Structure 1
Amino acid sequence: MATLLNVFGTLGKLLTPSPAYTDYEYDGLEYRWTIFVFRPALFKTEAWVTLAVVIYVLGWYIGKSINGKVANSWYDAHADILAAQFSKPTNGGLTQDGYSDFFNFSTGRRVVASLHTVFALRPRHDPFQVIYQFLYGLYDFTYSPSDIVTLDFKLHPTTSAPEGVFAVVRKEELKTIKRERWDLTFTKTTDHKALSPTLSVMSEFADISENLFKEYGTFSLIKTLNDPKTLPYFISLSITDQPAERPTLPLLPEEREKHVIVKFSVPSGSQVEDTKEFVTSLFQLVDIVGVKLGNGLRPDTKNKMRKIREDLDKQLKTEATKEQKEEADDAKRVAKRRQEEERVSRLSAAEQQKIIERDRKRAMRKAQKVVRK
């Protein structure tokens, strides 16, 4: 019994934490309550850590709240346009994905199969990213992060929208958009005398530009793009029949899509309604692209665009076949090497040593030939 008590006593000593260090010469601020004593000066590190956590959480909360307000304010100001244009606009408002991405899906309109409204806002919920963007802006004066909304109109497959790629882009965005959009590699970049000098035209054929810049009744794309009310927010407008990323295989007929994609900065505060007229006019543009544009293009332009796409499909098919052949050859080489390794592993140690020596001499001869060349 005594031995058992000694064992428990020893375990108790091992499990008992060491007494807290107490500086009896402490003469700072001190709070006492019965047997409890709190000395703030002994918890400076903990105080700073707690303050940092509080600041981070507060910044996260304020940032996500601002982003939600920015996205919902713009959507609420333009919701009546969507409701008038679509039989099935998303009445539940925006769907949130994280704290800086919001989107909305609308469908049920002639010419348009669907409209994706996508917000990509600044990461205000993450103070570290905000600081990084600020510091990088001091390094690169062309870097100007902003809140962006993208309207992606997917045209209905039954429309007569022609093949072709066309875009109008703010000049300072040219470098970025060329890097991000493979479909725009089909185009040539030029200026247009009727457009603002801040904008550039990217068009596959001049015939496409000429037809899009014509006036159709009350609609004029040039006037819409030059509107001083929306020009400060405009980033890009593109009409395309090609994907943003280069495909690895020729697209099947059901995979081919035609889009009108518009990107602009989100107005803030009292300016949130400045883009309402612009957004309304986009539906006129979509109707023109889906119904009238193809009729205005010259037959030789259509033939050239069709030939370019046929050549692209042939190139993609050739590259895919070549890649498949290389993968098959690699698989054969791996299988052959594995079989050889299994055969060698069944040989005696002396025979294995001979094979190793033979391979070493072959490698040396190859190296010597490379050096002589």
Structure 2
Amino acid sequence: MKFWIFICLLFCLSPLTARHQDVDTDDNEFAEFEDEEEFVVEPSSEKSSPSAGDTDRQTNKDTAPTEDIEEEDSTIETEDEEFEHFIDEDEFEGFEKDKSQPSKSKEGQPELKMADVPLQFRTNWDSFYVEILMLAGLGVYFLNFLQGKSKNHKLAQSWLSAHRDILEQNFSIVGDDGTSKEASSGTLMKESENVYALWCSGRTCVEGMLVELKFLKRQDLISSISNMFKPASDQIVIQVDLDHKVMDKFVFAIAQKRSCNKLHKEMLDLSQFTEKKNLDKKIDIPSSFQVLSEIMEATTAVLDKKVCTVLQKFEPCVEYIHFSDQYAGLKSTDDSQPTKMPQVKPVLMFVFNVPGKGKTKPSDMESVKPLLQMVFHCIDKVSRLQLSREAKQKAEKNRQKAEEEYERLTHSQRQEAAQLRREEKRRAEKERLLNEEDPEKARKLEERENRREMKRKQPKMKMMKVQG
């Protein structure tokens, strides 16, 4: 990437050098004519001494009669007098003799003056400085797009080739695109230039598993430059949809401390059912992780020795792990309260960071194979997990409490809607009373409205029959 930025700087500096050369050529553009003036032949000042015969001829020419010259002068004067009325100021108002007659050369032709062309109208490289910068930027952007696109494609293919054996051992169909009637395998779907998806199905206790390879936006020049100053990592997101009634009722998450607060605030099930918990010393996990748990019995069962070993070995690669039977995704961004219970499903979510901090190589995909093996270990662990009676009762109480909270919110919303409808109806009755032209009819409507208002204000009392 640094190579393309260096090329862009060279393109930007090239117009400046061209401008310097143009200034030199502009200063010397009349040098050609100066050289030609040096070769003008001047008349020789030295003359040969005339002979005696030549002096006689010259004296004869000088002593020639001047009558013919006087006649020519007289004819020229008469020709000028014939056209004097064309320059008469009385005949032509506003006529200036000096300005109307153009200056003429000795041969009688008007003198031509060359106009100076301004610098901004001259064709030089300085006039196309902005265009050159734009073309250079577009060229660098296009080259970066091709390079980033090809690198993301290579990373995706290298991940699939490294993990194909494990996936085919656990699923009957690996890579179905869902477009054909018959199931197919081996298809890596390309959702964008930096996002690839792989769908797997055909395993007990599992409806399906979706693997998303979310690479950096290497095809975008601006994102590539920002990643140079603030490095980020490529991510692998694995979502496992379990069959219903396979997973016991509990919500659990373990995440890096930098992202734990965000998860607890944005995820709907984590904000409702979990709290931050401190684990026992027996569970050896790195100090950079934070645990969100609803039932500690399920948490200690999930974080067994194998899972803790993988967390210690791949501490920077594990962003978070989220198990939930009430998975509903992120909270709604709208300020309005939900009107009904969200649709939930049992889900196991894994988010892993690819090592390299943005400088990932295709050979690095082989090193994250233990993370996928941990995913299948957790699937088997959760499907076989059986909680105690007390843990199940606690989980059931938490879910009933959540349902009552939703019912209370929906009941208050229904009451507000009914109150708005009554106010709208009362407003319509008042407008009808004001628009009524017949005074007798308006009086009856007003009396009816008053009786209805008084009846509404009276306290409600129950009638009880007393037997004697």
Same fold per superposition (TM over 0.5): yes
Tell me by how many angstroms 1:86 deviates. Answer: 0.6
1:172 matched to 2:262? The reply is no
Letter in 2 for 1:165: V
- The aligned residue for residue 141 of structure 2 is 56
Q: 1:145 aligns with which of 212, 220, 232?
A: 232
Q: Separation in 1 of the partners of 2:434 and 2:141?
A: 62
Residues 195 and 51 of structure 1: CA distance in aligned 2, closer, same or farther (over 3 Å):
same
* Alignment of 1:257 onto 2:351: no
Distance in 1, Cα, partners of 2:137 & 2:390: 66
Rate the CA distance shift 1:346–1:79 in 2: closer, same or farther, 3 A.
Answer: farther
CA contact 1:103–1:116 (8 Å) conserved in 2:
yes
Quote the residue 2:461 is aligned against.
none
**DSSP-derived class of the 2:174 partner:** coil
Q: Deviations over 1:172-221 (max 9, x none)?
A: 22122223322222222234431112222221122112222345xxxx22
Q: Distance in 1 between matches of 2:433 and 2:145?
A: 63
Look up the match of 2:201: 107
**Would the aligned equivalents of 2:159 and 2:365 in 1 still touch at CA under 8 Å?**
yes
Q: Which has the larger radius of gyration?
A: 2
Residues 286-331 of structure 1 show CA distances to partners (whole Å, capped at 9, x for unaligned) of 011012x12xx22111100011101111111221222233234334
User: Which residue of structure 2 lines up, in the alignment, with residue 212 of structure 1?
Assistant: 302
For the 8 Å contact 1:187–1:204, the answer to whether it is kept is yes
Partner of 2:393: 303
Cα displacement string for residues 343-370 of structure 1 (whole angstroms, at most 9, x for unaligned residues): 65787xxxxxxxxxxxxxxxxxxxxxxx
1:97 matched to 2:191? The reply is: yes
**In 2: Cα distance, 1:92 partner to 1:260 partner:** 23
1:43-72: per-residue Cα shift (whole Å, max 9, x none)? 222222222222223333323333333333
8 Å contact from structure 1 (residues 100, 122) kept in 2: yes
Following the alignment from structure 1 to structure 2, what is the Cα–Cα distance between the partners of residues 24 and 337? 78
Rounded to whole Å, the distance in 2 between the matches of 1:155 and 1:120 is: 23
Does residue 282 (structure 1) correspond to residue 367 (structure 2)? The answer is no
Counterpart CA distance in 1 for 2:310 and 2:289 is 13
Q: Contact conserved, 2:325 with 2:345, CA < 8 A, in 1?
A: yes
8 A contact 1:64–1:99 mirrored in 2: yes
133 and 176 in structure 1: CA distance in 2 versus 1, 3 angstrom threshold: farther
Whole-Å separation in 1 of the counterparts to 2:142 and 2:129:
20
Q: Counterpart of 1:46?
A: 131
Which of 192, 197, 217 matches 1:123? 217
Structure 1, unmatched stretches of 5+, are 1-21, 31-38, 138-143, 348-373
**CA deviation after TM superposition for structure 1 residue 101, in Å:** 2.1
Match of 2:241 in 1: 154
Letter of the 2:166 partner, please give it.
I
Paired with 1:103 and 1:222, the residues of 2 have a C-alpha distance of 28
Supply the distance in 2 between the matched residues of 1:61 and 1:77 (Cα, whole angstroms): 24
**Is the 8 Å Cα contact of residues 29 and 40 (structure 1) preserved in structure 2?**
no
Distance (Å, rounded) in 2 between the aligned partners of 1:342 and 1:166: 60
What amino acid is aligned across from residue 316 of structure 2 in structure 1? Answer: P
Among residues 305, 312, 315, which one is paired with 2:402 in the alignment? 312
Cα distance in 1, alignment partners of residues 287 and 170 from structure 2? 32
SS in 2 for 1:264: strand
Gaps of 5+ in 2: 1-114, 176-184, 332-337, 438-468
Residue 190 (structure 1) aligned with residue 277 (structure 2): yes
SS at match of 2:286: coil
Amino acid at match of 1:236: Y
SS in 1 for 2:254: strand
Is the contact between residue 120 and residue 127 of structure 2 (CA under 8 Å) also seen in structure 1? no
Return the alpha-carbon distance in structure 2 between the equivalents of residues 335 and 57 of structure 1.
63
- Percent identity between the aligned chains? 23
Letter in 1 for 2:135: T
C-alpha deviation, 1:25, in angstroms: 6.3
C-alpha displacement of 1:147: 1.3
Q: Give the aligned partner of residue 318 of structure 2.
A: 234
Contact 2:319/2:353 (CA < 8 Å) preserved in 1? yes
Q: Could you tell me whether the CA contact under 8 Å between 1:29 and 1:41 is conserved in 2?
A: no
Pairwise mapping of residues 353-372 of structure 1 onto structure 2 (< 5 A)? none
Higher relative contact order (CA 8 A, sep 6+): 1
Following the alignment from structure 1 to structure 2, what is the Cα–Cα distance between the partners of residues 83 and 119? 18
Distance 1:346 1:75, change over 3 A: farther
Q: Distance in 2 between matches of 1:113 and 1:273?
A: 27
Amino acid at match of 2:397: K
* Paired amino acid for 2:255: V
2:236/2:351 contact within 8 Å kept: yes
Matched, 1:271 2:361: no
Count residues in correspondence: 299
Q: Give the whole-Å Cα distance in 2 for the aligned partners of 1:77 and 1:155.
A: 25
2:169 matched to which residue of 1? 84
SS at match of 2:345: coil
CA gap of 1:307–1:158, structure 2 versus 1, over 3 A, is closer
In structure 1, the partner of 2:419 is 329
CA distance in structure 2 between the partners assigned to 1:336 and 1:124 by the alignment: 62
Preserved contact between residue 207 and residue 242 of structure 2 (Cα < 8 Å):
yes
The amino acid of 2:340's aligned partner reads L
Counterpart residue number, 1:7: none
Q: Residues 66-117 of structure 1, C-alpha deviation per residue, up to 9 Å, x if partnerless?
A: 3333333223311221111111111243212222222111111011111011
Match of 1:363 in 2: none
Displacement of 1:158 in angstroms is 4.5
* Structure 1 residue identity aligned to 2:376: F
Deviation at 1:334, TM superposition (A): 4.3
